Amino acid sequence: MPGFELFGDLEREEVNDVLDNGVLMRYGFDGMRKGHWKAKALETELKNTFQSKHVQLVSSGTAAVSVALAAAGVGAGDEVIMPTFTFVASFEAIMMLGAIPVLVDIDDTLCLDPQAVEKAITPKTKAIMVVQMCGSMGDMDALRKVANAHKVLLVEDACQAIGGTYKGKPLGSIGDLGCFSFDFVKTITCGEGGAVVTNNHTYYTNADHFSDHGHDHVGNDRGAETHPFLGYNFRISELHAAVGLAQVKRLPEFLQIQNKNFNIIRDALSQIPEVTFRRVPKGGEESCAFLNFSLPNLEIATRVSKAFKENGVDVCWNYYNNNWHYIRKWHHLKDVKSLYPISEEVKKELSTLHERDFSKSDYHIGRNISCLIKLSWTEDDVKERAFKMVKIIKENL
């Protein structure tokens, strides 16, 4: 991760095919495009990759979350349970629909704590959104059990976890709907792009229409299409889809490299008794896009993280004070800083965030260091990095 590190002839061939053809929009212009449909081809490839009946491409991972929730009927006044550790896009996508983000603790998987989810369920809860952070997963059986017991949706944000599996199923294909991102720093990239994945035909049809201004896509005359309901513009372009089409064909290659690099570093760090690794639920296989490990406490993790930066060990983060990925620094959310009026229901929920006790999440995030696994490293690069990391950790314990 990320796929842009290994752009090559296949990506150039697919993009040039679109430029030579001249049709950059995914819909319409049938006569001009001469049978070239990059977005459709990518959706077909992704259905195989995700072992799912339906895939709808959209413009980003953020759009995928909004479209997935809207497709299942989530909207104004509905509560969506989400984790304290994610990307800011999670609550942005929920709030865009007028729905209410309800933040709860993570556990040692670094994903939603099923017990915290259970406690957060109310009559307004419409969905549980598990974010499969940093290439791994939450306790999917336990989360599904909670969702089924309360008859609410289980939505997977698997934007950072393409290639990970749980009991043989690709992450993102396990919930009622799955969401993926193909932005510039994902394992496979379109530059910008995302996808909604589901086995539910109604949700798929809704996502297909909603993401293109409500067009029903019936017939061959775009101007004559009807609009069964309101929609918005979350379309992907043919250029972006062309890059993704090349990249998804290379996914096995990327995952093999990630796995190799991940395990070289993990094996080296496992020699240090004070280092522990995130819990992966039984039956789960990480995508190996990130290596997450924990140190005894926040103080040591902070010291090691700083020493990594000072000694050239890049792309390693302690998220405790990160303003993109962890609730402690989401001041714009807690203070409801918005360009447009926010509903009183959403304001009421967000106003509790200043006083809420997220010490369990603090414990896990404070001790954790997350390291991106690059595809462009040589084996010597990885071994040298592993040696440096071990040395720095031992010096700072």
Kindly state whether residues 163 and 151 are assigned to the same domain: yes
Kindly state whether residues 79 and 121 are assigned to the same domain: yes
Asked whether the beta carbons of 133 and 160 are under 8 A apart, the reply is yes
pLDDT tens, 249-285?
Answer: 999 999 999 999 999 999 999 999 999 999 999 999 9
Instruction: Exactly one of 38, 126, 186, 374 is catalytic; name it.
Output: 186
Mean pLDDT, residues 86-104 taken together? 98
Q: Report the length, in residues, of the chain.
A: 397
Kindly state whether residues 238 and 265 are assigned to the same domain: no
Domain of 324 in residue numbering reads as: 252-396
**Where a domain ends, among 199, 229, 250?**
250
Q: Dihedrals φ, ψ of 350, to 5°?
A: -70, -30
Rounded percentage of the chain residues whose pLDDT exceeds 70: 100
Kindly state whether residues 187 and 61 are assigned to the same domain: yes
Confidence category of residue 1, pLDDT binned at 50, 70, 90:
confident
Kindly state whether residues 229 and 282 are assigned to the same domain: no
Query: What's the sign of the alpha-carbon dihedral 222, 223, 227, 233?
Result: positive
Residue the block writes with tokens 């729905």:
99
**Where a domain ends, among 215, 250, 285?**
250
Q: How many domains, in total, are found in the chain?
A: 2
Kindly state whether residues 261 and 191 are assigned to the same domain: no
pLDDT tens, 168-197?
Answer: 999 999 999 999 999 999 999 999 999 999
CATH of the domain at 107: 3.40.640.10
Q: Confirm whether 186 is a catalytic residue.
A: yes
Question: Model pTM?
Answer: 0.97
DSSP code per residue over 382-393: HHHHHHHHHHHH
CATH of the domain at 385: 3.90.1150.10
**Where a domain ends, among 250, 266, 292?**
250
Kindly state whether residues 45 and 152 are assigned to the same domain: yes
- Quick one: 92 exposed, middle or buried, by C-beta within 10 A (0-12, 13-18, 19+)? middle
- Give 156's strand partners: 130, 178
Kindly state whether residues 364 and 236 are assigned to the same domain: no
Asked whether the beta carbons of 34 and 21 are under 8 A apart, the reply is yes
Other Cβ atoms less than 10 A from the Cβ of 193: the count is: 28
CA distances from 327 to 82, 229, 304, 317 (A): 11, 35, 22, 15
CA distances from 124 to 153, 300, 354 (A): 12, 41, 22
Kindly state whether residues 241 and 271 are assigned to the same domain: no
The first and second tokens of residue 319, run together, are 């998220």
Kindly state whether residues 276 and 227 are assigned to the same domain: no
Mean pLDDT, residues 363-368 taken together? 98
